[in-house]
Chain A
């Protein structure tokens, strides 16, 4: 590398500009590719963008922490976006009142199912202590899951990755699975997606319909609360 070029790289790599720009560029390329593939569930924009970013960071020898300096501005928007979910949710208020009983039942059973099933399957296949603890809160939204993981002795940053993987897996599988069991009601579809695949699932559910998205957001929010109460009890009892 020529000295001027290296100076430029050193300067740029210390500013948040690169990380932020890389995030937006990678996402838009991933999004365009996903649209080109007809929105096929396998072409998940989060997975594609992450793969692209990890490739660029690895090739340029950039540590994740340096990248996150810039990417944190995008990451921060998760907070206000979570609050904003109240708006589509309010749009479903009449429907929500009608389905209140069913939602509460699905919430309780779904939350326990998620924690217990991931624990037993991973343990049966030989996963060890810290991986198990980091897996337990996998179905809830990233910030809640990280908090739970820390509380029970898992690795919060590993949990963040497992949560995002779960979201991608859920978003990819949901349409086919729901079709297979013949669940056509958008409220039930959305609720199941939000329970199993949190925010990434919710982003997918909004592509099905406004109703599916709102119910997914509802399930995600409620599941966050219930799972943070359920996980410490269940993991304490299982381990």
Chain B
């Protein structure tokens, strides 16, 4: 488990360095995910300890969004002023994006 956590951090670090060095608009962890994915494809299998650590970490993925979510309290003023357009836009746009993506994915999968 210790080795797997270290591995995840090392890939995150690679991602950060790569992104900084090339001035890419993508965050380091996303690049780290891509690198780890490529490494696993090249290697041909995912080691069991890594699979267990990843599954433990992802089991409570929701928890990790809580600290940033509580930041809602700093923007209470701005949100209170424009809450209606903001909320309607978020709900409608999220629904539209979800439906459009699901339909395109289905059409595309049928074509293949």
Q: List the interface of chain A (C-beta within 8 A of B).
A: 23-24, 26-27, 31, 44-47, 49-50, 53-54, 57-58, 64, 67-68, 71-72, 74-75, 77-91, 93, 98-99, 101-103, 105-106, 109-110, 113-114, 117-118, 121-128, 131, 135, 138-139, 141-144, 147-148, 151, 155, 157-158, 160-162, 164-167, 169-170, 173-174, 177-178, 181, 183, 185, 187-189, 191-193, 195-197, 199-200, 202-203, 206, 213, 219, 221, 224-225, 228-229
Contacts and interface: CB of A to CB of B under 8 A. Distances in A.
Interface residues of B, number: 74
B68 interface: yes
19 contacts: A27-B66, A68-B71, A77-B64, A79-B32, A85-B33, A86-B40, A93-B41, A102-B108, A102-B112, A103-B105, A113-B97, A126-B82, A127-B86, A148-B25, A165-B72, A169-B91, A181-B102, A188-B106, A199-B65
Contacts, number: 318
A125 B88 contact: yes
Contacts of A103: 105, 108
Nearest to A215: B105
Given A31-B62, A183-B102, A203-B65, 6 more contacts: A46-B66, A114-B97, A123-B85, A131-B86, A141-B27, A148-B25
